[in-house]
Structure 1
Amino acid sequence: MRGAVTAQAPAKVNLLLQVGPLREDGYHDLVTVFQAVSLHEEVTAAPAREWGISVESADGTDVSGVPLDSSNLALRAAQLLAERRGVDEAVHLHVRKGVPVAGGMAGGSADAAAALVACDALWQLHSGLDGLAALGAELGSDVPFGLHGRTAVGTGRGEQLVPVLTTASFAWVFVLGTAGLSTPAVFRECDRLRALDGASAQPGDGRLEAVELALRGGDAEALGRALSNDLADAACSLAPELGRTLAAGRAAGAVAGLVSGSGPTVALLADSPAGAQRLAAELAPVVGPGRLRTATGPVAGARVLEPVAS
């Protein structure tokens, strides 16, 4: 058995998020297009006498809200893998966070994906991607995508994935929120707003096809026109500053912008990596440089980081 294994997994942005009506099980049917972007979580799994977890920030990301007990998703992932595969060994997980906490970019799910990959390698289980993804789906809707990465259409709760085949790359600027938003609270607000105005979900309205066409064509302008998030109004209702951030992004030259997932991170699409740098520089005096991250996508899913030979 190896002494310690480090794995990384990416953040995600939802290029499309269509939210169906509330189901009897308390979830909503989703149609979403995930894109993995180059903000990463790193998880190191090392043998230990007892289960434990520690966390640090890789880039100034506030980690004060990350639980360090059995409710932590990465720790739950490692323990679930051990239970299902009959491993009677504890590990200590150390997480280096580079994804906003409670930011709608699936940082916790990326931790879980990285923990599954790291522990699978540490224990030499050879579970395979599909085996780990099946476990990940038990932990959270976004965990399977953290394992797969790249770009994919998600259905069901978002855990049923079909890859979108594209060679195009896109550039992003992410504006971190000043406070986290609870995903369940945003979904409840979405349901409340729909009930107030009599709106209903409209699956099959052509939005998915528009996003897929733009992705395959590598057309940032077309992708900008196709970006859509049914949770945006709810997130902006709970955090009105999101609307102001989106307006500031458009004024600074973004191709388009949207709330990332359930928020409160705002994702701004740029025309190129150089354009993303210019956009971030333009926004820095408005929102503060500490709230800005630039990234590209798509990127690969969770993987082991091999040590560099000396």
Structure 2
Amino acid sequence: MSVTVRVPAKVNVQLAVGAARPDGYHDLANVFLAVGLYDEVTVTEADALRVTCAGPDAHQVPLDRTNLAARAAVALAERHGRSPDVHLHIAKDIPVAGGMAGGSADGAGALLACDALWGTGASRDELLDICAELGSDVPFSLVGGAALGTGRGEKLTPLEVGGTFHWVFAMADGGLSTPAVFREFDRLGEGTDIPEPVASPDLLDALAKGDPEALAAAVSNDLQPAALSLFPALADTLAAGRAAGALTALVSGSGPTTAFLVRDAESAAKVAAELRASGTCRTVRTASGPAPGATVLGG
């Protein structure tokens, strides 16, 4: 018996970050948009828990119990009094350590697949509760579409999207640690008054209307200065995408993937080709959103 679940990547069209909380986390106003780059997680009955992975940069993915997919299987098994004896295979297509929630997607995918394989019948609320325990981005990977994440990003409010948004993503030659980027954010903001994070009304309106030009004018990422401080070469990639005709350019989440919003699929192909030729990134992908959340493909 096996079950396969497909899970999307995400881009943060707004990432507003508050000051560090006593627990070390930061309050966020995090506007997620799921995009059509996917990992697939296949869960098969086995004698013991094990993880395998194939695809681009699969060698960077941990195959022990620190992997979010493994942690998801263990968490669901513990809640339902069973052993997490499954083989988790991750077919990787979301960039690794790229700020597009690839690890979170694998956690959400494994959770939904194990629930289907074991017939645990977990409610949506229980699955989202486990997702929130696993990590701040994991609940959105389960839900997909578009949503505003508050708290540390795990409390989701679905958002209306009135059209399809086209993106180009440039993958950097190297990674960035999310905790390191937040530490740099704290360092850069030391001694300043950091406002409470709130979602931009203009951005939410642009999403609802499906207006790429208006969305381009409203996107923001408070972590971008920290990511650029730690990875200065990303500035060249951002500049190359703008020069190629992107409506806007920003670091995706904590990076180092850079995201370029464009008008349509034809523009995406042009910007992608010029970014590939620019020599400022390792590889380039195109995708559109919103995309559905974790989806069972078969079993």
Q: Name the SS of the counterpart of 1:64 in structure 2.
A: helix
Matches of 1:23 and 1:290, distance apart in 2: 36
Deviation sequence 1:33-84 (CA, Å, 0-9, x none):
0000001110000000011000000xxx212211011111100101110111
Overall identity of the aligned pairs, in %: 54
Matches of 1:241 and 1:288, distance apart in 2: 8
Matches of 2:173 and 2:197, distance apart in 1: 35
Question: Does the 8 A contact of 1:129 with 1:147 survive in 2?
Answer: no
Read off the aligned partner of 2:182 and give its amino acid letter.
Answer: F
Q: Which moved more, 1:47-56 or 1:119-128?
A: 119-128
Read off the aligned partner of 1:269 and give its amino acid letter.
Answer: L
How many pairs are equivalent?
Answer: 299
Deviation (angstroms), 1:262: 0.3
Match of 2:202 in 1: 210
Matches of 1:34 and 1:157, distance apart in 2: 13
Deviation (angstroms), 1:278: 1.4
Tell whether 2:227 aligns with 1:235.
Answer: yes
- Matched ranges for 1:207-286 at <5 A: 208-286=200-278
Give the ranges of 4+ consecutive aligned residues of structure 1 lying more than 2 Å apart after TM superposition: 198-205, 287-290
Cα distance change on mapping 1:88 and 1:63 into 2, 3 Å? closer
Deviation (angstroms), 1:203: 3.2
Tell whether 2:192 aligns with 1:194.
Answer: no
Residue 18 of structure 2: which of 13, 17, 20 is its match?
Answer: 20
Match of 1:56 in 2: 54
Matches of 1:23 and 1:92, distance apart in 2: 38
Matches of 2:166 and 2:230, distance apart in 1: 28
Read off the aligned partner of 1:257 and give its amino acid letter.
Answer: A
- Matched ranges for 1:30-69 at <5 A: 30-57=28-55, 61-69=56-64
Match of 1:6 in 2: 4
Deviation (angstroms), 1:288: 7.3
Q: Name the SS of the counterpart of 2:66 in structure 1.
A: coil
Matches of 1:127 and 1:257, distance apart in 2: 40
Tell whether 2:74 aligns with 1:74.
Answer: no
Deviation (angstroms), 1:32: 0.8
Q: Which moved more, 1:158-167 or 1:260-269?
A: 158-167
Question: Does the 8 A contact of 2:161 with 2:290 survive in 1?
Answer: no
Deviation sequence 1:250-304 (CA, Å, 0-9, x none):
0000000110000000000010122111111122111378610100000110010
Matches of 1:293 and 1:153, distance apart in 2: 25
Read off the aligned partner of 1:31 and give its amino acid letter.
Answer: A
Match of 2:122 in 1: 127
Matches of 2:283 and 2:48, distance apart in 1: 36
RMSD: 1.4
Residue 110 of structure 2: which of 111, 115, 119 is its match?
Answer: 115
Question: Does the 8 A contact of 2:74 with 2:84 survive in 1?
Answer: no
Tell whether 2:167 aligns with 1:172.
Answer: yes
Deviation (angstroms), 1:170: 0.1
Question: Does the 8 A contact of 2:238 with 2:258 survive in 1?
Answer: yes
TM-score normalised according to structure 1 size:
0.93
Deviation (angstroms), 1:159: 0.1
Q: Name the SS of the counterpart of 1:70 in structure 2.
A: coil
Point out where structure 2 has 5 or more consecutive residues left out of the alignment.
none
TM-score normalised according to structure 2 size:
0.97
Deviation (angstroms), 1:26: 0.5
Cα distance change on mapping 1:204 and 1:113 into 2, 3 Å? closer
Question: Does the 8 A contact of 2:35 with 2:290 survive in 1?
Answer: yes
Matches of 1:201 and 1:214, distance apart in 2: 26
